A and B are shown apart, each in its own frame.
Chain A
Amino acid sequence: MTDLYTSQRAMRNMRRAAMQRGVIAILDVGTSKIACLILRFDGPDRLREQDGVGPMAGQSQFRVIGAATTRSRGVRFGEIAVMNETERAIRTAVQAAQKMANVRVDHVIACFSGAEPRSYGLAGELDLQDSVVTEQDVSRVLAACDVPDLGQGREVLHAQPVNFALDHRSGLGDPRGQIGHRLAVDMHLLSVDGDVVQNLLYCIKRCDLELAGLASSAYVSGVSSLVEDEQELGAACIDMGGGATGISIFMKKHMIYADSVRMGGDHVTSDISKGLQIPLATAEKIKTRHGGLYATGMDDREMIDIGGDSGDWEKDRRQISRTELIGIMRPRVEEILEEVRATLDAAGFDTLPSQQIVLTGGGSQIPGLDGIATRVLGQRVRIGRPLRVQGLPQAATGAAFASAVGLCLFAAHPQDEWWDFEIPAERYPARSLRRAVKWFKDNW
């Protein structure tokens, strides 16, 4: 296996060490903004388990004590394009968050949206030696999955066991201790482009930070934006970011598919910029302030100053109606949604029992998006906002922070991944102590 796969285990240990120390940073490296949240862990849950209130998946353990966001530089399509620019942007965000939290952080959990994620469904089967499923059997059945050819330079970002089956009983969450003869596992594996990950690792290392975890932003957006029953019954989360739109499909509280469309809000901005001959910054401002997707009669009369710093009176006094703006934005948004639809169809989303679609991310804040998404994606569409977590500033509660908040939840309560299980004893090096112990167990 490759570098990233082996370092995942180390990252998991580092996450544990950081939680022991009590402070960990969350870094969402996006195309339009880089967000940094600093979490403080107060040890065990302060909200005790009471009647009907579960442990809340670790959400009561932490508190956001620092938050900062900065304009992203050098990131395109959710991938790092200019290394030192990105490094500076990360530094800005981390420094501001540290200043707010008044604490130094050394460990960071990062997510990114690009790197062409590809999903694979793996299956493994194993005949049990004795009829009781042990932890070693789980490890062995995971090892028995045959990994497809990921391609040149591809690495595994997530590998989560989704379903265990014992003989003819499927849908087991935790088969340990159960009795059967044949153990099978379904696993979801997400591979990404290795170079993109290496670039991100390098940038974070240049900022004197240690990486304690890595996640796909499509996945963590789904974790934060889908409510519990949607995750259980099956839903797709569309994270409309700046440079890439992430798609993740959840079923039975597991991610079963993830993909991304390399288009996002920045393309809308660039369309406006090109169409109206204005700078990108102005286009962004006009988009966020006056943007929309459904034109009405009123919009013909609403004139928007688009200006220009040329010094030419005619050029600087240009005006457009809001209808014109909508006319520029709508085709691009429709195109993005069409792409999403195609991806979902390719994933077989229409065969799922529940076809809930949740739109989140900064791009989902365009007025009228729900109407147009209903027409493209189907009837069951809603605009989602991330979960509320303790101490999150009001400015960071919007849909644009779905992946940052999801990463907080990921930090507090990560899903079991392939590398969290023990390595099967047979795979250890020959003179391993564990192998000796196993020999004793088998023979005595």
Chain B
Amino acid sequence: MQSLIARRPSSRLRRDPAPSKWNYRMQRLLLTPYVRGFLRRGVPMLLLLGGITLWFSNEANRQSLVAQLTHLRDEFEARPEFRVSLARVEGASEDLAAAVRAKLALPLPMSSFDIDLDAARARIEALDAVKRADLRVRSGGVLQVLITERVPVAVWRTEAGLTLVDETGHRVAGLMARSDRPDLPLIAGEGADLATAEALDLIAAAGPLTPRIRGLVRMGERRWDLVLDRDQRVLLPANDPVQALERLLALDHAQDLMNRDILTVDLRSDHRPTLRLTPNALAEMRRAQGLETVENEL
């Protein structure tokens, strides 16, 4: 097919029409480095930001996004890899383990993301018999509860009854009768539990007196009385009671003091021990010294 308009071999000059003034200015503007940079980076970025802002300015959009994210998160947490189906309590006796399980009170199986390990640990450590609890989620969906039990070191007698305490004075358990734990020393008095460690030191330092010890009584929440059999008492000072006791033992060793007819040995003053004799012994001593005393019922 041939065009009807004859295509004559062009003898005309090549046309190069002049750009209009505004076209020329526009081209120069677009060639300006700042403008080019802005058009290439700034404008797309602004458009993107504007679009995102516009989308987020709609309340429904925001909510649907949040819902979607929450759903995704729930789905992820509900995966079987994160499910905890068993709680294993280790390092506790039978009774304590049962108590720990009861305290744990987790509706197993549940997702490991939902378990508040810190709260569960706090609940378990609220048990008196538990010194320390370590909770960790092990592989295979097992919640391992490692229990360190409190070890009772003394029996504390109060008006309410007998209590087992550990070396920090913390209650471990109640005790029905002293004879249930005859191996543990007895302490008594108000505030005795707070000084349990000192009491243990005194008992350890008692040496030859150990079989005679009935117990330790806390006096006025500041010092100890060592109570021996035959109603003998050793009044220990508030400061350095162990040294005072050691001095007494040295005295006992030298002069066989404690086997004599003595009611109390007062060690509260470190200048001298003060003895109180039994009434019979006192009368006997005076008689031997030739002193006549008038005795009456008062």
Contact = CB atoms under 8 A, between A and B. Distances in A.
Interface string A74-102: 00000000000000110110111011001
B24 interface: yes
Contact of A95 (B14, B19, B32, B33): B19
Interface string B12-48: 1110111101011101100111000000000000000
Assign chain A's interface to a size class: 20 to 34
Interface string B54-69: 0000000000000000
A104 interface: yes
Give chain A's interface secondary structure class: helix
A208 B29 CA distance: 11
Given A102-B31, A281-B11, A96 B25 contact: no
A91 B21 contact: yes
Given A88-B18, A91-B18, A104 B25 contact: no
Contacts of B11: 281-282, 285, 307
A193 to B, nearest CB: 26
Interface residues of B, number: 17
Contact of A281 (B12, B27, B28): B12
A104 B12 contact: no
B9 to A, nearest CB: 9
A134 interface: no
Nearest to A284: B13
Contacts of A91: 18-19, 21, 24
Interface in A250-288: 281-282, 284-285
A282 B12 CA distance: 7
A103 B31 CA distance: 6
Nearest to B31: A104
A420 to B, nearest CB: 31
Which of A95, A102, A208 gathers most chain B CB within 10 Å?
A: A95
Contacts of A103: 31
Contacts of A94: 24
Nearest to B23: A95
A207 interface: yes
A354 interface: no
Contact of B18 (A92, A98, A99): A92
B27 A99 contact: yes
Contacts of A281: 11-13
B28 to A, nearest CB: 5
Contact of B31 (A96, A98, A285): A98
A70 B25 CA distance: 19
B18 to A, nearest CB: 4
Contacts of B27: 95, 98-99
Contacts of A96: 16
B28 A104 contact: yes
B290 to A, nearest CB: 129
A46 interface: no
B19 to A, nearest CB: 5
Given A207-B24, A307-B11, A92 B32 contact: no
A103 to B, nearest CB: 6
A71 B24 contact: no
Contacts of B19: 91-92, 95
A430 B175 CA distance: 116
B24 A70 contact: no
B16 A71 contact: yes
Contact of A98 (B12, B17, B28, B33): B28
11 contacts: A70-B16, A89-B18, A91-B21, A92-B17, A92-B18, A95-B23, A95-B24, A95-B27, A99-B27, A103-B31, A307-B11
Cβ-closest 3 pairs across A and B: A88-B18, A104-B31, A92-B18
Interface of B: 11-14, 16-19, 21, 23-25, 27-28, 31-33
Given A91-B18, A99-B27, 10 more contacts: A70-B16, A91-B19, A91-B21, A94-B24, A95-B23, A95-B27, A98-B28, A98-B31, A207-B24, A281-B13
